[in-house]
Amino acid sequence: MADIAPIDLAALAWLILVWNGYMIFADRFKVGGYSLMTVMKKHRAGWMRQMLNRENRVVDTTIMSALMRSVGLFSSITLLILAGLLAILGSIDKIQALAEGVPYVTEMSKASWELKIAMLIMIFIYAFFKCAWSLRQFNYSIILIGAAPPVAEAQTEAAQKFADGAGEVIALAVSNFNRAMRAYYFGLAGLAWFLHPVLFILSTLWVIAVVYRREFRSQTLANLHSIPGMDKTP
């Protein structure tokens, strides 16, 4: 620890504080405000209710499979990133020697290199676990579509509760995938740490601003919010 500059430790603490603070903020908005997650939750509930009215539910499983392919792709990419980072961690001395000739890269001790690479490894381990859990939840959702009540019972109270429950499971899957995507954003910001800790601090602020705008202030959100949801029983 003595070989690690205090500003590097401060930058790491800043990342942990900002990331967790934003997650708490975003989770509170799920309850009391409207964001991409809350608006799409309404549309997913409408999707599940419409699914009950279809005799042939192939279209629903096809949509779900497309969503799962996206999550599976990021799971595979995350493993490749982790493999690369672990390889770098085992060759710190060579990486240090190569970085000495790269412009704008700040001079760092071996301990600082290890800390920064370990930080990236932890970020992408977190992303992988979130992707893997999201993938399993999407699998459970497909099973729920297969177990959905028949069309003749679509308007019963039990069927509507089933649709709401299925929508909740899909919402949880999407929420976990969304957290994995945030990890990617912060991982990219972490690359700036190799240039300078202050640049890293500024990059995390930029990531927060981008994520906040997309989830709470984007034109996409405004358009989705203006579309009437089919989340009520006819």
pLDDT of 190 higher than 70: yes
pLDDT of 230 higher than 70: no
CB atoms within 10 A of CB 203: 21
pLDDT of 98 higher than 60: yes
pLDDT per residue as tens digits for the range 130-151? 999 999 999 999 999 999 999 9
pTM score, whole prediction:
0.88
* Residue 234: per-residue pLDDT: 38
Candidates 20, 42, 37, 61; CA nearest to 218 is: 37
CA torsion sign, 227 to 209 to 83 to 119?
negative
pLDDT per residue as tens digits for the range 28-52? 766 556 788 889 988 999 999 999 9
